[in-house]
Amino acid sequence: MNSKDKAAQILSKAEVVINGPQPIDLQVKDERVYDRVFSGGSLALGESYMDGWWDVEDLSGAISKILRSNIPDSLRNAGVIWHFVKSWVLNRQNQTRAFEVGEKHYDIGNDLYERMLGKRMVYTCGYWSSPTTPAQDLDDAQEQKLDLVCRKIGLKPGQVVLDVGCGWGSFAKFAAEKYGAKVVGITISKEQAALARERCKGLDVEIRVEDYRDTKGQFDHIISLGMFEHVGPKNYRTYMRKMNELLKDDGIFLLHTIGGNHSVMASDAWLDKYIFPNGVLPSVTQIGRAIERLFIMEDWHNFGPDYDKTLMAWWANFDKHWPEIKDSYSGRFYRMWKYYLMTCAAVFRARESQLWQIVLTKQGLVGGYRAVR
């Protein structure tokens, strides 16, 4: 069986047809794509899309169908296996490499992120599924998420919060403006820090460019929104020890992270190369082991399907504003960014990844913690 026939057979399990009429059917532009993908796995699949060798009208829908059919298991190869072996042997998130993702991803251009993320520039999952007032749009969903975090930690005026991985200062600005908090935000991105300082000007907010391992101080609360994915399995225990050291005895630590259904040591090879170098999604087991004897788990909230909506809203913003920024990027970058946002949306739609908010305390709250939704 040649590679084209093999691809057609595999895709049929997901009811996806090569050059078919449906929006989820793959349209092949270069017949070399079949051999390329079978020899190069998920990395080659993404790169061949960037090169225009194949296309599909509903990219997120197609990938979601494929994921639900367990087809990716058919695309394992030596290159993919070597990527995972390196991650087992090496600590790819050590302090020497900590700033790599900032330089390669977060520093690519504030002009892009300002147009994509919405008015508060929140680069984490919005909260669309509030049981009382479901969000109506991206800005509303992000506003509700930031408020949800503040309510979960019981934030009060004058309290000092450490924001680990503060991005462009979205939480810091919100918490200072709405709750009267003092916030220290840390990031490994110089571009993020510069804009965060500008956006938080006049507020009781300090933005630092530093690795979490270098942070000093004592804080009433700690929050981390979408940063733990960059920590790496070999550093989970180190990270939790550091958070325990920085948190006051009666404080609350809220960890907001994408999570995987299985324990792994590496991420998808394409995502690692082009979007988030050295990133890895933690599992329930890995987080549980990391917090043992350091924290008590008070609450674990999963709203992973909300990330599908968030990513699709980001894509709509990016696509709408592309004409304004395209002179600073390339056509191949456009296809790369589309593939990134659409495939990630598909992963959450297929329930392959989750979004967790985990509330942790050092000694357990007297009388218990009242879950907030």
Confirm if 217 and 247 have CB atoms less than 8 A apart.
no
DSSP-derived pairing of the beta strands 54-55 and 27-28 = antiparallel
Expressed in angstroms, the distance from the first to the final Cα of the chain is 53
Q: Catalytic: 344?
A: yes
- Please say whether the beta carbons of 211 and 99 come within 8 A: yes
Residue 113's CB is within 10 A of a number of other CB atoms, namely 20
Residue matched to tokens 């890895």: 280
Cα separation, 191 vs 209, in Å, equals 10
Distance CA 79, CA 99 (A): 25
Selecting among 125, 166, 200, 344, the annotated active-site residue is 344
Query: In whole angstroms, what is the distance from residue 36 CA to residue 265 CA?
Result: 25
The letter for the amino acid at 216 is: K
Half-sphere exposure of 251 (CA within 13 A, CB side): 20
Cα angle, residue 108 at apex, residues 53 and 161 outer, rounded to 5°:
130
Torsion sign, CA atoms 307, 309, 312, 316? negative
- Strand partners of residue 299: 359
Type and span of the H or E element at 291: helix 284-291
Active site residues: 344
